[in-house]
Each structure stands twice: as C-alpha cells, then as structure tokens.
Amino acid sequence: MPKGVPNKRYTPEFKEQVIKTMLEEGLGYRETCRRFEVNSRDQIKSWERIYLEEGPEGFRVERRGRGSTGRPKKLPKEVEEDLLAEVQRLRAENEYLKNLQALVLEDERRQRRKRR
C-alpha cells in the first residue's frame, strides 16, 4: 500500500469526495486508501463515521488536538443568577426541613414521656 504524506491536512471537499466514492462504488477501506493515497484505513473509518453521523458539514469542524479540559465556559449572567438563587432557595428549604424534623422528633419524645 503506498504511503501518503505524513501529517497531511485534507480538505473537507476531499474527505467528502473520498467517502462518497467509497460508498457509491462499494470500495473497502484498503482500496479507498490506495486509490486516494491516504495514510491509513483508520483515517478513512474516522471520516466515514463523521460523514454518517454529521453529514458533509462534519468535515468542516476542526478536530485536531485534544479537547480542552481547562476552564469551563462562562454562563450567561441571567442563568448564573437564576442558578445561584435556586441554590439559596434549596439551602433554605433544606435547613427548614432539618429544623422541622428536629421539632417532630422532640415532640415525639415529649409524647412518650407523658405516656409513662
């Protein structure tokens, strides 16, 4: 199998042409690699998966490198304020329920003492 150019960047149009030809002519990965001089079958498999899942537009998305695990994206101000308000409300509700449970338990203890 002829080797392609290492680290070659293929255009979205080229990728689309490769996958369309492969699917229309029923070519295997190996034959497709030979015909289009692509480095590896895994590359063709990856393009095929993208094409079948996202269509030709998927080839226009930059996918090189690792995904960012850095800082999370900032939320819009309104969403952030809503979430903070909900957290405060839930904390207050949680505290209320804890106090209510303590009062119920205390009341039950008093009822038991009176019965004795």
State the pTM of this model. 0.51
C-alpha span between 59 and 37 (Å, rounded): 18
Q: Where are the domains of the chain?
A: 12-60, 75-116
pLDDT tens digits along 19-74: 999 999 999 999 999 999 888 899 999 999 998 888 888 888 877 777 667 777 78
What does the alpha-carbon distance between residue 15 and residue 21 come to, in Å, rounded to a whole number?
A: 10
CA distance 56 to 60: 8
DSSP 29-76: HHHHHHHHT-S-HHHHHHHHHHHHHH-GGGGGS---SPPP-SSPPPPP
Q: Which pLDDT belongs to residue 1? A: 45
Write out pLDDT tens, residues 71-101. 777 888 899 999 999 999 999 999 999 999 9
- Higher pLDDT pick, 111 / 72: 111
Q: Do the beta carbons of residue 36 and residue 46 sit within 8 Å?
A: no
Percentage of residues of the chain with pLDDT beyond 90:
54
In the chain the first and final C-alpha atoms are separated, in Å, by 93
